[in-house]
């Protein structure tokens, strides 16, 4: 009885706090009870409070007398503690109209309610749901405890050990495993070194995963091998390779290095030949001398060639190397190799002093009929004319 009086006193004090700012504000504003949404939320709060009361009585009834008194005191204090600040919040955001009706009209609303009022009501409902969940968990815990006490009082210690041994975890129950006491029903009669074979079911997660794999395989087979609505693995590979090649070509083109042994052309302008000469003097004079007359490497100025005398053959020889000759693609770009190959071609017929003896096959150059059309055109042939190996 004293607890009830204390609770009512707390509620009365809270109501006094509520009415004070409302009376001080002058005439009251339109009530929230005119809003259908507000009424629905209040009705839901009332239903949840009723559920809390019922569950609370069940919890108190399941506990002993001492626990009952302790929980009544805590619940009463808790209700007073929660309701007082709650009513104080409502007093300023719901009922109090200290700034007049103009501010209320200008405030943002949700379904004929101010946002503050709506959020407070939703928070109350959320707290009530948490209280209901806590009460349910406590009731379940008490019932489990009572059940265990009854069982403990009626069985021996050996039986308790057997019961604990046969208890399954949630994972075992999920996998539909059987307790140890029922293993005899699962025994297949196969035993080796104390290990028995049991007829346990496959775990549900494994079975469902297997079923999904079968469904996926059927869909895959129908799409890619029956209707051919999707690309096959070979087609995806070819598409990927073509896309990669296109991107490489675009990169090389942007870099100015898209030339290779199939697309290279002879450069005859002075600027290109000067750049080729710089590369030649840096990397080729060791074997071919500065004049191209040949030393370790062959003479580059006569009509005899080991691997062809057209620009494509010279470019390929420089790029990939041959025997002791290094692969210059590791040191120079394709554009630079084109420059030095064009410079090598320009050395033909320069008659340097002390040239090296001819090597390879004699290959004559075909004269150009239109001298003004020599830019970027190869004037030689890779076919051996009057082939005379030396």
Tens of pLDDT, residues 69-110: 555 545 544 554 454 445 444 444 444 444 444 444 444 677
Dist. CA 317–CA 261, nearest whole Å: 9
- What size, in residues, is the chain? 390
Dist. CA 381–CA 378, nearest whole Å: 8
Q: Do residue 170 and residue 81 come from a single domain?
A: no
Q: Which residue has tokens 């503050």?
A: 116
Q: Do residue 62 and residue 132 come from a single domain?
A: yes
Q: Is pLDDT of 247 > 60?
A: yes
Q: Is pLDDT of 6 > 80?
A: no
Outline where the chain has alpha helix (H). Answer: 2-24, 36-62, 65-90, 101-106, 115-154, 157-166, 170-174, 183-186, 204-221, 233-255, 270-283, 285-288, 311-320, 334-346
Burial of 300 (0-12, 13-18, 19+ CB in 10 A): buried
The CA-atom distances, in angstroms, between 222 and each of 21, 217, 233, 237 are 74, 9, 15, 20
Q: Do residue 96 and residue 35 come from a single domain?
A: yes
327: domain CATH number is 1.10.760.10
The CA-atom distances, in angstroms, between 217 and each of 205, 207, 214, 225, 233 are 18, 15, 5, 11, 15
Nearest to 71 by CA among 84, 85, 61: 61
Q: Do residue 172 and residue 117 come from a single domain?
A: no
DSSP 262: T
Query: How many distinct structural domains can be found in the chain?
Result: 3
CB-CB contact of 38 with 121 (8 Å): yes
Query: What confidence category does residue 164 fall into, taking pLDDT thresholds of 50, 70 and 90?
Result: low
Higher pLDDT, 320 or 36: 320
Contacts of 26 (CB under 8 A, 6+ apart): 97
Query: What's the mean pLDDT in 202-231?
Result: 91
Q: Is pLDDT of 333 > 50?
A: yes
Residue 271 bridge partners (DSSP) = none
Write the pLDDT tens digit of every residue in 12-63: 444 444 444 444 444 455 555 667 787 888 888 888 888 888 888 777 776 6
Q: Could you tell me the pTM of the whole model?
A: 0.36
Q: Do residue 7 and residue 108 come from a single domain?
A: yes
DSSP 188: E
Is 59 domain-assigned?
A: yes
Which of 119, 154, 189 is the last residue in one of the domains? 154
Which two tokens mark 293? 């007359």
Q: Is pLDDT of 4 > 70?
A: no
Count how many Cα atoms sit within 13 Å of the Cα of residue 198 in the half-sphere of its side chain. 15
CB-CB contact of 315 with 341 (8 Å): yes
Q: Do residue 112 and residue 194 come from a single domain?
A: no
Is 379 domain-assigned?
A: no
- Domain range for 164 is 157-198
In the predicted model, what is the mean pLDDT of the chain?
74
């Amino acid at each position: 009885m004293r607890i009830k009086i204390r609770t009512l006193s707390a509620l009365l004090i809270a109501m006094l706090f509520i009415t004070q700012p409302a009376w001080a504000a002058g005439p009251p504003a339109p009530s929230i009870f005119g809003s259908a949404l507000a009424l629905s939320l209040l009705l839901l709060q009332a239903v949840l409070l009723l559920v809390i009361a019922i569950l609370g009585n069940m919890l108190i009834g399941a506990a002993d007398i001492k626990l009952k008194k302790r929980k009544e005191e805590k619940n009463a204090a808790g209700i007073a503690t929660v309701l007082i600040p709650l009513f104080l919040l409502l007093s300023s955001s719901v009922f109090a109209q200290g700034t007049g009706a103009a501010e209320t009209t200008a405030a943002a609303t949700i379904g004929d309610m101010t946002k503050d009022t709506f959020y407070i009501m939703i928070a109350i409902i959320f707290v009530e749901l948490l209280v209901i969940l806590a009460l349910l968990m406590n009731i379940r815990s008490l019932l489990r405890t009572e059940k265990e006490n009854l069982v403990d009082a009626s069985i021996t210690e050996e039986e308790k050990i057997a019961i604990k041994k046969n208890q399954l975890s949630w994972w075992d129950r999920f996998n539909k495993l059987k307790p140890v006491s029922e293993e005899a029903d699962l025994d297949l009669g196969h035993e080796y070194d104390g290990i028995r074979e049991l007829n346990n079911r496959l775990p549900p997660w494994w079975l469902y995963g297997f079923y999904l794999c079968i469904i996926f395989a059927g869909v895959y087979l129908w799409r890619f091998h029956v209707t051919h609505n999707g690309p096959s693995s070979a087609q995806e590979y070819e598409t990927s390779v073509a896309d990669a090649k296109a991107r490489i070509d675009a990169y090389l083109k942007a870099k100015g290095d898209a030339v290779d042994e199939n697309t290279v052309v002879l450069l005859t302008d002075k600027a290109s030949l000067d750049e080729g000469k710089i590369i030649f003097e840096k990397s080729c004079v060791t074997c071919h001398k500065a004049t191209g007359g040949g030393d370790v490497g062959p003479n580059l100025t006569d009509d005899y060639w080991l691997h062809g005398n057209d620009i494509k053959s010279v470019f390929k020889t420089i790029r990939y190397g041959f025997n002791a000759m290094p692969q210059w693609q590791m040191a120079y770009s394709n554009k630079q190799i084109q420059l030095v190959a064009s410079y090598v071609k320009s050395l033909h017929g320069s008659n340097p002093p002390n040239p090296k003896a001819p090597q390879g096959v004699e290959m004559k150059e075909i004269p150009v009929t239109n001298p003004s059309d020599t830019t970027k055109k190869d004037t030689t042939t890779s076919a051996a004319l009057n082939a005379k190996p030396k």
